[in-house]
Amino acid sequence: MKIIEGMKQIKDLQRKASDLRIKIGNCSADLDVETPLYEEQKTKVRGWLQAHDDIIQEILKLRVAIQRTNLATDVTVELGGKAVTKNIAEWIHRRRDLAQEDLSAWKQLTDRGLREGTVKQSTGESKEVKIRRYYDPEERDRKLDMYRSEPLLIDSRLEVINAITDLIE
């Protein structure tokens, strides 16, 4: 089974488990003046509970297999003109929030609204004032572009990997 198939199967199993929980909730009790929806309704509810438990166990098995595969499978993504190799789990974390955190840090490199020009000193003399930047604006621009693109590059690469990589059971 491929990673993407496991992920899709988990979604389907979650839907089935949800449907069973609704049935269990609707049929777990009634008034003695009502007609039960099913013959042997107690047995039916017990069966649904067992089926739900089986589904949850299968979801757990698939999730663990996906995690195991994500940790064991290295993927190379081209970032900023360089090939970067990480395992799928690391790329997932980069995609989830870490690339955004890096982008946020590099966005802090600004001129802070400061202006260059001439200022009068208390002595009455004029002095030329320049902004001192403690960063390289070209490097900042490259990094901003790279971190903005990273999530899309990760998504496109992982879509392919998820479709071709077998789960490690």
Per-residue pLDDT tens over the stretch 28-75: 999 999 999 999 999 999 999 999 999 999 999 999 999 999 999 999
Under 8 Å between Cβ of 55 and 12: no
Per-residue pLDDT tens over the stretch 80-136: 999 999 999 999 999 999 999 999 999 999 999 999 999 988 888 999 999 999 999
Neighbours of 36 (CB within 10 A): 11
The pTM is what?
Answer: 0.84
